[in-house]
Structure 1
């Protein structure tokens, strides 16, 4: 099952915004800027430190998601270009790389824009002025889906982790969404496991038999696997909406299997496993079918609503009820009747 949320699905099919989102994906999947901040700026009067900063920048702008040097906004390159254009003699001292940079950012028009990229200490005292932090920007491409943003975010953090002394911090517009998507799969698995454990504990209270409770849990797992497979076949991706429906489906899937198992366990008299199975189905098969049909009919109106969230809910409920009834009426009775003699021994 693929991960990611397609934003065009959050609006109705006839909403004009949907067309805008699709056009943006096709024609504007490159050029978005990511900001990289060097929080602990090194001593820029040393050429080795400047070369190291250029190395960091080069790593960021040569990834497969980067546009390249043409899409990079780096004050260091622009400042050197300005100094060369004015014929200034650049030395490795404070006048060139501390005070000179600060005064350059205070010039007219275009150059004043660079002042937003610096954090200075003692900015008004030339003798004590220090460059504390600065930032640069790179242009990224190939980000037409949330999975790409997830990989871009991970790649940028990986590069930042190579230079812990610089305390590099990265930011792009969809970073929060990428982090959210990154947490969906582990949270889904974790919540499903917790819910299965809770169902198992409650099942042991009302059906005090480990083997029969195990069959209930196994049936739930099988139902959920079927739901995931069918949703994936329907091109539904794992996103916050489908995650909620999957977790909710566990609660639906336990209903029918628990009824059949309880009917089997609570059968009175000295009956054989096959007779107990027949009695359980005789008592509960019709109510299970009625419950399944009524539930599907009750949510069937949702299938005609032009909304992604509502449609996913209908699909999940339909699959859970259908697969749940199938497991409860066909598969589970076979396992119960086959394992009961072993338990009786």
Structure 2
């Protein structure tokens, strides 16, 4: 009975110890996860908010493709953000719990092995001393031989262990060497950025970069080419090439609809119609009157020839059908449209025919066609200008309700809206980013530096793409909206970590480190993750350059520019600006602290 009771007590004690150990491990994991969330939560939230806001602004654009693209990306980023806090975080905690148990088990094994080695060494020393004391003059004791044998075995085991440790420790040594030289380089790099001469050179390069980017930005042009949506060796490319080469430069057709023509019998109304057609034919790019298909001209010739011909065929029909000449004049338009060589004009005219055949039909609406020419019409932007000229002429006759139809007008109408939409989206996005950063950073220089860096990245992407010959089309607009969102990540991370590094927890205005140490801590904690993220993005995007498609290459170029410019901004320009602003602020604080208050001496008379 006593033995069973002792066993139960031992089991309960072990369970209590295990329960306490599990509690301690859970507290440790909770503390680790809390530290991780505190360090990364603000950065993740800044990135998510800025990206979602950037795509939310793009969701209000009138272009359906860009709207769908922006909505999809905003929803995806939101889902990823929720996934990080609800699924990814608990998964890390579970795997961290297992890893922590493995580490603790390894530590316990090492402690046990160390105790066994210590006990063996103590027992060996005692046995060797006793054997040495019991030696005889005639020879060596047997215990001494056993001691030397055990000593040889231990030395062999130690050699094997040292070989394993050397193999396992090569990676650790390699890491330590790399970390050592990286720390030296990082310290030298931070010290160099804090130098005035280096800062002047960085600002000079930044000025040249901004000038080149603005030159390309102001030279950007909006263009739309349907062949950019297909592969280079597609049959549709050949069809579009033949059309642009042999049709559009010589005969660009325009259909003009007159929706409220008025009273057909009034001569003044017909004069307005002729004036409208003449204005279209007077455009510089117009082919001329022979390219215009206008039914009224044939009708007037028909009536004039009928009046001049004394024995007109219709006069015989009048007596045959019993129609008076006055009724015949009222039905001249109907007779004109029924004449065999003029029947095709029925497709150009819409009439309201009365129930009584003797009454005059009413003209509801009609249209005519005209054409333009020019080598510049191969470009869609020039065709959009021609469409605007046609619409300008149509708008000069509001009483007729004239409208212009062009086969590709729905695509041409996108061209003049691209630049304003892009500018509007960029400005709204920058404003949203400013307010998002304001939620996490109260330091005005940090806010200004982060927003200027985002602005410089955006103009660099647009300007360099323009210098590379990329026109502003819906594809480039979509990539640009995404680039605005991605351009936030690196500046926001750098500025936020610099803002938090070296600031005391109790008072955010009290610095506990100088500028160089703050920059060193900031880059030591975030420079490698930024480089890793940038290089991984470049590697993933580089495969798109192998696709012979305009859409893929524009997206790849845009992402490459965003990553490269963002890395240069985050690792070179922003640290330099932070050093200069922070150093000036610290100098001002030192000057204020060094001011000595006047001392009043009381003189005893």
Q: Taking structure 1 as the reference length, what is the TM-score of the superposition?
A: 0.92
The separation in 2 between residues aligned to 1:96 and 1:69, in whole angstroms, is 31
Matched with 1:3 is 222
Are the counterparts in 1 of residues 330 and 359 from structure 2 also a CA contact under 8 Å?
Answer: no
My pick for the range that moved more, 183-192 or 267-276, is 267-276
- Provide the residue aligned with 1:162 in structure 2: 396
Q: Does 1:52 align with 2:52?
A: no
Check the 8 A contact 2:229/2:550 in 1, yes or no.
yes
Check conservation: 2:331, 2:360, Cα contact below 8 A: no
- Contact conserved, 2:453 with 2:491, CA < 8 A, in 1? yes
Q: CA deviation at 1:299?
A: 1.1
Q: Cα 1:84–1:50, aligned 2, differ >3 Å: closer, same or farther?
A: same
Q: 2:428 aligns with which of 187, 190, 194?
A: 194
Q: 2:301 & 2:557 partners in 1: Cα distance? A: 60
1:9-28 per-residue CA deviation (whole Å, 9 max, x = no partner) reads 22111222212212221111
Please state whether the residue corresponding to 1:225 is helix, strand or coil: helix
- For 1:95 and 1:257, the matched residues in 2 are separated by 84
Secondary structure of 1:132 counterpart = strand
Number of aligned residues: 341
- How well do the aligned residues superpose, as a CA RMSD in angstroms? 2.2
1:193-212 equivalent positions in 2, closer than 5 A: 193-212=427-446
Partner-residue secondary structure (3-state), 2:501: coil
Separation (CA, whole Å) in 2 of partners of 1:189 and 1:96: 63
Aligned to 2:282, which of 49, 52, 62?
A: 62
Query: Is residue 45–residue 97 contact of structure 1 (8 Å, CA) maintained in 2?
Result: no
Distance in 1 of aligned mates of 2:235 and 2:228: 12
Please give the per-residue CA displacement for 1:7-58, whole angstroms capped at 9, x wherever unaligned.
2222111222212212221111232321111111133333332222111111
**Which structure 2 residues correspond to residues 1-345 of structure 1 after superposition, within 5 A?**
1-29=220-248, 30-88=250-308, 99-108=331-340, 110-125=341-356, 126-142=358-374, 143-268=377-502, 270-341=512-583
Check 1:255–1:51 CA distance in 2 against 1; reply closer, same or farther (3 A cut). same
Partners of 1:250 and 1:3 in 2: CA distance:
19
Structure 1 unaligned residues grouped into runs of 5+:
none
Distance 2:232 2:300 in 1: 52
Give the superposition deviation at 1:295: 0.9
The structure that has the greater radius of gyration is 2
Q: Judge which range, 246-255 or 96-105, deviates more.
A: 96-105
Q: Deviations over 1:52-84 (max 9, x none)?
A: 211111111121232111110001111123334
Whether the 8 Å contact between 1:260 and 1:280 is mirrored in structure 2 is: yes
Q: Is the 8 A contact 2:251 2:287 kept in 1?
A: yes
Deviations 1:65-124 (A, max 9, x none): 3211111000111112333444548xxx9968863123211222x411111222222344
CA 1:21–1:84: 2 relative to 1, 3 Å: same
Q: Which moved more, 1:264-273 or 1:96-105?
A: 96-105
| Higher strand proportion | 1
User: What are the Cα deviations for residues 142-194 of structure 1, in whole angstroms up to 9, with x where unaligned?
Assistant: 32122122112211221122111111111111111111222222221222222
Whole-angstrom CA distance in 2 between matches of 1:117 and 1:51: 19
Per the alignment, do residues 282 and 48 of structure 1 end up closer, same or farther by CA in structure 2, a change over 3 Å counting?
same
Contact 2:224 2:412 (8 Å CA) reproduced: no
In structure 1, what is the Cα distance between the partners aligned to 2:284 and 2:516?
Answer: 63
